[in-house]
Structure 1
Amino acid sequence: MLQLDLHSRRNWMIAGLVAFFVIFAVWLRILPMLSMGHTDILSMVGSDDPLYNLRQVEQLLANHFVYTWFDPMTQYPVGSTVYWGPLFIYISGFACWIAGATTRPEIIGVCLLVPVAMAGVTVILMYFVGKICGDWKTGLLAAGFTAVVSGQFFYRSLYGYFDHHIGEVLFSTLFCLVYLYILISEKDRKIDLKNIAKWKRTALLSVLAGIAYLLGLFLMPTMIVFALIVVLFTVIQFVISVYRDKPTEYLLVANTIIFAVAIIGLMLFGFKSAGLDLASYSVGHVYAYLAVIVGTVVLYLLARYLKGKPKYYYPLSLIGLAVICTAILSVAGPQFFNQLINAAVQFFGQAPVTNTVQEARGWSIAAAWTTFNYGLILMVGGILVILYSVYREDRPHEIFTLVWSAIIFYSTCQHIRYEYYLAVNVALLSALCVSFVYEWGREDIRRLLAGVTSRAGLDEKTNKTGEPAAKRKKQKKLQKQDPGSASPRFFVLALVVVAAGLGILFVYTSATYSYVNASGNPLIMNQDWKESLLWMANNTPATGVDYYTIYDKSTFVYPNSSYGVMSWWDYGHMITYIAQRIPNANPFQAGVSGPNGAAAYFMATDESTADTILDHDGTRYVVTDIEMDTGKFWAMATWFNTTAAAEQYQMTVLIPGQTASSGYQSAMLNEAPYYDTMISRLHNFDGSMATATTAYYVEYADQSVTYVSYPVLSDAEAMNVSAATARAAQYNQNPPAGYHATVLSSSLVLPITDVPALQHYRLVHESPTSELTTNTTDVKYVKVFEYVKGAHIKGSGIIDIPLVTNTGRNFTYRQQSVNGEFIVPYSTTGNTYDVKATGKYQIEGTGMTFDVPESAVMQGLTIN
């Protein structure tokens, strides 16, 4: 099946086309590199997981290829356990070693090419997968479609996105390739289980499949999904084989050996986490693979036992056994049973917080079409082709393809990131559809071309000899004698044209979309974040934890000099890799939820609550950005309260158009609690007090009146906050049914109520880009704050101090006294940061001024 005849012109043509597809796939993916010019290579790296993988490669190279399973440089103050496998990092590390890459830019340069290369290898594998499922033409189509398919598969293998996802696709496809070969080559083999000579070929292929499975497993524990695919396929294939009286011994041998290899390999690899968690390298995998082996044995023995009995006994018996085994497992092994359920829910299910993670959101029809476009139509055609083929004859490899595709399709519907798995299924099914239709209509194409050629030749001879009648009679006689020269079936030709047209549209649309995305440099790092974190690396105290050292989790203790950096989880790996500081939360969604998580901190409306969280988390610096303040605010609110989310902080309203046919425009307006959150008080007001001035008085109709999903604005007027509040209260005393009034603000810096100053936070750095500029306000993209004890000043009223930032922005920090005291975060002398006081503290209206030394701010001393 997979042999290559070097003397065959066709095989050389196939090899040339596959090579072309690989080159084209690689070219598409390295477009960002080709157009980067003099851009710093660090700026080409994706800002979340790719940075952490680069950190792992650096650590691997610095420690003679020793892989670490515990990292204290993230999720302070507990550190983070690495739950994925080392294979991707080892492959990248060896590539750096071979290339002689030692410096950070050199390591980045080599590593960014690894996913690109893996995508090229996947194209090659897909030729063989397609050939097994069809023929060489199917293989070429599958390889060609894979080379251009867009979406997550393309994005995860694009130059700049250095992560293991494309490796998951590569090794899972390799496993499926070997398993498919077992199915097509061994399905009719008569195996005597007592005679090993009769099944040693099956055993050898199964060992190879087991090794391929292990490679995928050593890259990511998610590989267990393909064990589930094997399980579902095996059950379905046993039922079909029983009904058709086909041998099943090859399935027994294959599944037993494959997962025995997986068990042995995992035990040699070692268990990296306690418990039965299937999302990590635990003993739970061993139990799961044993269950696959035992389940296959039961299926085989039951088929043997029921041989000669009515066929429907078998599926009914399986249903009964499934119910009994589920009940027994839930009682006898509740922990393992719950782990299975939890693993299924995590992989296939949805939770409110998953919508805050872009790659974990559900798949929409629009997103599906954007990614796979005409390939979706061809995919449906491919499914119909498989169903037709399976109905006609025993084709277990096509049953496996169908199950494989169905499981991955469903998982993609639940989490959009699994598009990178689904891409190969769409490519394969599309190839099956196009090649099947072509084969079906090939004879009709020949007839059509033969007829055209024949008519052309006849016309030419008629013109030359002037004897058309005799020739026509002879031609009709030949057509009657040769059925193959009958008229073509034009409806079949129409299907060929449609399939070919859809294939061309699939290739053109996908390649164009991928080209636009690649040439647009979608992964360019945010320069404000880069600037701020480079500043942090050079201007904040070292943590005492060495960036390159591998630490033992059982013995590691953070030094007294260590501290955490609080920011939203999106930026955790940037903090680790660029600043070499320790984030409290990271993109593994660790350190985010719970009473001391990042969500609780940034959504806190009371400073003492926020301070308690930072004290618990050992935080010294807080980094905010404009996105946390705006577009990501709802995500933080959802993590903080999955039920209410941002409902109490912001209101989305619909504004009617000027004409009846113009519809609505939506607008997001802030409610009073928004301005009390820590993210708003820090980023919008620099921790200073803010006084309410103007806002919008708003009247709106709710859903009971409008029958639309959001409130519809009926009146809005900008006015003094006090007047707006009074007017809303008066309106709400006796409003029309379904109508309400409230006070909202459209500005980040115009609160609805007075916002008190923060006493323990001082701005120490801000990035250069201005995101909101008015006559009185200039909000920068990224801001870095230090959490300090604050100096105590006795007095009453309002105290202020003029400040200038590192960007030259001037602002005044103001604070209202509490119980006859001020606790101030800025020093007037001894400050080493670039945000500095340009004068002394003064209590407004009194003429009293104060100098505050740095020691007083850091130690919480009293000035007077």
Structure 2
Amino acid sequence: MVHLDFMNRRNLFIAGIVAFFVIVSLWIRLLPMLLSGGHTDILLMVGSDDPLYNLRQVEQLLANHFTYTWFDPMTLYPVGSTVYWGPLFIYISGFACLIAGAVTRPEIIGICLLVPPIMAAVTVVLMYYVGKICGDWKTGLLASGFTAVVSGQFFYRSLYGYFDHHIGEVLFSTLFCLIYIYILFSEREAKIDLKNFSTWKKTALLSGLAGIAYLLGLFLMPTIIVFALIVVIFTVIQFIISVYRNASGEYLLVANTIIFAIAIIGLLIFGFKSPTIDLSTYSIGHVYAYIALIAGTAVLYLLARYLKGKEKYYYPLSLVGLAVIFAGVLFVVSPQFFNQLISAAFQFFGQAPVTDTVQEARGWSMASAWSAFNYGLILMLGGILVILYNAFREDRPHEIFALVWSAVILYSTWQHVRYEYYLAINIALLSAICISFVIGLGWRDISRLARNIKPESKAEGSKEGADDRASKGRKQRKAQKKSTASATTSYLVLALLVITAGLGILFVYTSVSYSYVNASGNAISMNPDWRDSLVWMENNTPATGVNYYTIYDKNSFTYPNSSYGVMSWWDYGHMITYIAQRIPNANPFQAGVSGPDGSAAYFMATNESTANTILDHDGTRYVITDIEMDTGKFWAMATWFNTTAAAAPYQMTILVPGQTDSSSYQSALLNENAYYDTMISRLHNFDGSMATATAAYYVEYSDQSVTHVSYPVLTNAVAMNVSAAAARAAQYNQNAPAGYHADVLSSSIVLPITDVPALQHYRLVHESSTSVLTSNKTDVKYVKIFEYVKGAHIKGSGIIEVPLVTNTGRNFIYRQQSTNGEFVVPYSTTGNPYDVKATGKYQIEGAGTTFDVPESAVMQGLTIN
């Protein structure tokens, strides 16, 4: 029989618990797959933005003998896009497909969607060791368990269906921090003589492993450099602490030098992919930064030695002076690199007006913070206090690093919610440190309390002498007083322990509940209308002449004459590339969005000639719209177009008093006249046809100068004819009291305030099946595809119209008012290759004249008569 001592039994227990956490982590993340039962189209389970592009990269990798592409002409037409992130995540996924024998698209998707949940499970294991170093085995188990169930972006980015490198960033950054923390823990008291390698051989070996871990993270994403920043901040703080504690700093000098020397060497071998010094790309800027980090550590070490024995405050004051001098010298010697550092810091830690239009880049609100981490936020604060308490008592550089790590990531998350996936690790660790500390604090008191309530061991009938009984009575009275004091202390600690444990239980329960609801409720799913529309585009539009799988060289590539772009909002760019295998003008890297020729300028254009100029510049042939661009995402497009005005010229948010309680308000979004003139409205709401104004709201309201709230407050509203409403508003505004106004607004996307002219160069060629707005006069579909054409010319005056039927069976009439005695019409009546077809000829109202328009006239801009 094999004897298992206590330590081995405990190790088996720990391994079993961590394995259980891994299973829980995988189970909750694989719920979408498990609940589908294999009956759902797997493509519909994939996130529709970055995950699709990562799948494209894996497909290219497998089709090109594991060659990674750094330039992609299948997006951002007409210039193509440079890939700025690293290949490691794609290589890992590609090797997984190779091992599994995945060849077809569904097989590749099935394997790739497993990679993020597995990476999250590996992170659960790593967190046991991170927690153990920062506390003990109990801290490790708690950190591991919390990591398995913590919700927020960490859970979402590792959920089955979200195939992206973010979870890989968390995995490899955690691996780096684990090894770095272990170096700080094990080497802080090492007696290092820099001239004797044998004294720092172990430090060098561990630092080499940390350098490799950092390099892996760098090969996955260049923004891993934020962890170099964390090392910088920690190193400065720790040297100051070491000076005040008369401790040595050789281990920090050795560790930082070796780690970032490996990063420099690895990056030099890897090669620079960007000619700039941008730290968000693989540029020489990284080398400059790592050299500065190594040199800075050496300066901190040498300054500490030089000032040894002098007043302690000399050291931090000297650091401030050196920092000012260094910044000044850097600004003079290399202003470009200085500005790049400032710019990189602002991009990572700051906000811009357009940031709010990108969901993952928005600032962190208290509501979203609580939704993500709930009671873990309270435990995090407790963990911070524990680390500060421990650091005050003794030198614990590993815990100081954990604190700096957490503080930097917390601040970055406050600025950009996407960094929740990093912060989840810190929440789990600090929560574990808090609970473990309280357990350690109260364990002795709890044991003492348990001993005090044990029954006496002697029987009642035992015989004792009078002196013995008197002596024993005195001892018992003294012990009772002492026990009462101890019991009081025990109860206080027990109360703290119960509260802390309760918070931990609530943290786990709330996180699991939130994650389960999201995982089982199709949190990640592709819109079927978009999927079907893009499949139609792949099968029914001309090929671009750019091969989907071929890897092209940026320096020698030129687009063929048959190529063209597809204009849509940037959210949908990767869907266009992956599903339709066409080339979007804008993509989810927020490229092709801003500027005079960006997608924002196009969809917000209120003049067709301006919009056409943009499409001509961008080489666009097709335009895709959807109801979200027309409504919920409209403000985002307006903000990208004009960060100052945003949606104000097009829409008004107004507070409406409650019907039963006039002191309560509800917000209502009403459209201004300019909204209906935008290209997105004219295309999606009216199919490019002329729209006539009929009814609207006459609205009276008080502005902020009167209400002292964020939005105007409605004082009167009447539905009426638009011309009567306009006249009444003009009359009211002539004599309106200060702060009061009248306007003509509309609550419906299909009821314009003034007549909207027809578009002459856009024809509907496909629409999806789902109706989002239906009435006896209107049927607006979810997704629509338009072709940008030259248009056929017809001489005449008045209003011309042609009846049409769409691929869904919807009937509508395209109408256009003549301009300078001519019509330019986008629909052909004969030879039309699409499923949206004319059911009759063009006819000028009141004239009885009809015209047949062949397809060639529409495509070549020919004159009919």
Q: TM-score, normalised by structure 2?
A: 0.97
Question: Which residue number corresponds to residue 14 of structure 1?
Answer: 14
Distance across 2 between alignment mates of 1:329 and 1:7 = 55
Q: Does 1:694 align with 2:707?
A: no
Structure 2 residue identity aligned to 1:539: N
Contact 2:172 2:216 in 1 (8 A): yes
Distance change in 2, residues 1:240/1:568 (3 Å): same
Distance change in 2, residues 1:86/1:471 (3 Å): farther
Q: What do the CA deviations read for 1:768-809 (whole angstroms, capped 9, x no partner)?
A: 000000111100000000000000000000000000000000
Q: Does 1:77 align with 2:107?
A: no
Contact 1:528 1:781 in 2 (8 A): yes
Distance change in 2, residues 1:314/1:848 (3 Å): same
Q: Secondary structure, in 3 states, of the residue corresponding to 2:455?
A: helix
Structure 2 residue identity aligned to 1:30: L
Distance across 2 between alignment mates of 1:828 and 1:814 = 14
Distance across 1 between alignment mates of 2:469 and 2:12 = 42
Q: What do the CA deviations read for 1:692-738 (whole angstroms, capped 9, x no partner)?
A: 11000000011111111100000000101000000000000010121
Q: Does 1:609 align with 2:596?
A: no
Question: Which structure 2 segments of 5+ residues have no match?
Answer: none
Question: Which residue number corresponds to residue 712 of structure 2?
Answer: 711
User: Any residues of structure 2 matched to 1:148-547 within 5 Å, and which?
Assistant: 148-454=149-455, 477=475, 486-487=486-487, 488-547=489-548
Deviation at 1:451, TM superposition (A): 2.5
Distance across 2 between alignment mates of 1:489 and 1:120 = 38
Percent identical pairs in the alignment equals 79
Deviation at 1:452, TM superposition (A): 2.9
Distance change in 2, residues 1:471/1:370 (3 Å): farther
Distance change in 2, residues 1:560/1:245 (3 Å): same
Q: Secondary structure, in 3 states, of the residue corresponding to 1:8?
A: helix
Contact 1:5 1:11 in 2 (8 A): no
Distance change in 2, residues 1:50/1:290 (3 Å): same
Distance change in 2, residues 1:15/1:852 (3 Å): same
Q: Secondary structure, in 3 states, of the residue corresponding to 1:503?
A: helix
Distance across 1 between alignment mates of 2:503 and 2:189 = 36
Deviation at 1:620, TM superposition (A): 0.3
Structure 2 residue identity aligned to 1:617: D
Q: What do the CA deviations read for 1:149-176 (whole angstroms, capped 9, x no partner)?
A: 0000000000000000000000000000
User: Any residues of structure 2 matched to 1:727-806 within 5 Å, and which?
Assistant: 727-806=728-807
More displaced stretch, 102-111 vs 488-497: 488-497
Q: What do the CA deviations read for 1:64-91 (whole angstroms, capped 9, x no partner)?
A: 1000000000000000000000000000
Distance change in 2, residues 1:684/1:201 (3 Å): same
Distance across 2 between alignment mates of 1:772 and 1:33 = 33
Deviation at 1:265, TM superposition (A): 0.3
Question: Which residue number corresponds to residue 36 of structure 2?
Answer: 36
Q: Secondary structure, in 3 states, of the residue corresponding to 2:453?
A: helix
Contact 1:789 1:825 in 2 (8 A): yes
Deviation at 1:504, TM superposition (A): 0.6
Q: Secondary structure, in 3 states, of the residue corresponding to 1:399?
A: helix
Structure 2 residue identity aligned to 1:288: A
Distance change in 2, residues 1:815/1:471 (3 Å): farther
Distance across 1 between alignment mates of 2:139 and 2:245 = 27
Contact 2:449 2:490 in 1 (8 A): no
Distance across 1 between alignment mates of 2:454 and 2:850 = 103
Deviation at 1:126, TM superposition (A): 0.3
Distance across 2 between alignment mates of 1:465 and 1:569 = 89
Structure 2 residue identity aligned to 1:816: Q
CA RMSD of aligned residues (A): 1.9
Deviation at 1:821, TM superposition (A): 0.4
Question: Which residue number corresponds to residue 853 of structure 1?
Answer: 854
Distance change in 2, residues 1:471/1:837 (3 Å): farther
Deviation at 1:36, TM superposition (A): 1.3
Distance across 2 between alignment mates of 1:77 and 1:35 = 42
Distance across 2 between alignment mates of 1:410 and 1:436 = 25
Distance change in 2, residues 1:479/1:850 (3 Å): farther
Deviation at 1:309, TM superposition (A): 1.0
Structure 2 residue identity aligned to 1:744: L
Q: What do the CA deviations read for 1:337-390 (whole angstroms, capped 9, x no partner)?
A: 111011101100000000000000000001101111110000000000000000
Distance across 2 between alignment mates of 1:477 and 1:428 = 47
Q: Secondary structure, in 3 states, of the residue corresponding to 2:763?
A: strand
Structure 2 residue identity aligned to 1:640: F
Contact 1:764 1:784 in 2 (8 A): yes
Distance across 2 between alignment mates of 1:473 and 1:631 = 85
Distance across 2 between alignment mates of 1:756 and 1:557 = 38
Q: Secondary structure, in 3 states, of the residue corresponding to 1:668?
A: strand
Contact 2:70 2:83 in 1 (8 A): yes
Structure 2 residue identity aligned to 1:152: Q
Q: What do the CA deviations read for 1:206-225 (whole angstroms, capped 9, x no partner)?
A: 01000000000100011000
Contact 1:627 1:633 in 2 (8 A): yes
Question: Which residue number corresponds to residue 668 of structure 1?
Answer: 669
Q: What do the CA deviations read for 1:429-485 (whole angstroms, capped 9, x no partner)?
A: 000000000100001111222223337x78xx66x9999x99998698489689899
Question: Which residue number corresponds to residue 820 of structure 2?
Answer: 819
Deviation at 1:832, TM superposition (A): 1.0
Q: Secondary structure, in 3 states, of the residue corresponding to 2:734?
A: coil
Distance across 2 between alignment mates of 1:288 and 1:161 = 32
Deviation at 1:660, TM superposition (A): 3.8
Q: Secondary structure, in 3 states, of the residue corresponding to 1:35?
A: helix
Distance across 1 between alignment mates of 2:7 and 2:137 = 16
Distance across 1 between alignment mates of 2:558 and 2:653 = 47
Distance across 2 between alignment mates of 1:782 and 1:479 = 85
Distance change in 2, residues 1:803/1:663 (3 Å): same
Contact 1:447 1:484 in 2 (8 A): no
Question: Which residue number corresponds to residue 576 of structure 2?
Answer: 575
Distance change in 2, residues 1:450/1:7 (3 Å): closer
Q: How many residue pairs end up in the alignment?
A: 857
Contact 1:652 1:711 in 2 (8 A): yes
Question: Which structure 1 segments of 5+ residues have no match?
Answer: none
Contact 1:6 1:12 in 2 (8 A): no
Deviation at 1:489, TM superposition (A): 2.3
Question: Which residue number corresponds to residue 682 of structure 1?
Answer: 683
Q: Secondary structure, in 3 states, of the residue corresponding to 2:127?
A: helix
Deviation at 1:7, TM superposition (A): 6.4
Question: Which residue number corresponds to residue 98 of structure 2?
Answer: 97
Structure 2 residue identity aligned to 1:16: G
User: Any residues of structure 2 matched to 1:547-626 within 5 Å, and which?
Assistant: 547-626=548-627
Distance change in 2, residues 1:759/1:194 (3 Å): same
Distance across 2 between alignment mates of 1:106 and 1:659 = 58
4+ residue segments displaced more than 4 Å: 4-7, 464-467, 469-486
Q: Secondary structure, in 3 states, of the residue corresponding to 1:138?
A: helix
Q: What do the CA deviations read for 1:583-627 (whole angstroms, capped 9, x no partner)?
A: 000000000000000000000000000000000000000000000
Distance across 2 between alignment mates of 1:129 and 1:472 = 57
Structure 2 residue identity aligned to 1:579: A
Distance change in 2, residues 1:431/1:752 (3 Å): same
Q: Does 1:649 align with 2:664?
A: no
Q: Secondary structure, in 3 states, of the residue corresponding to 2:625?
A: strand
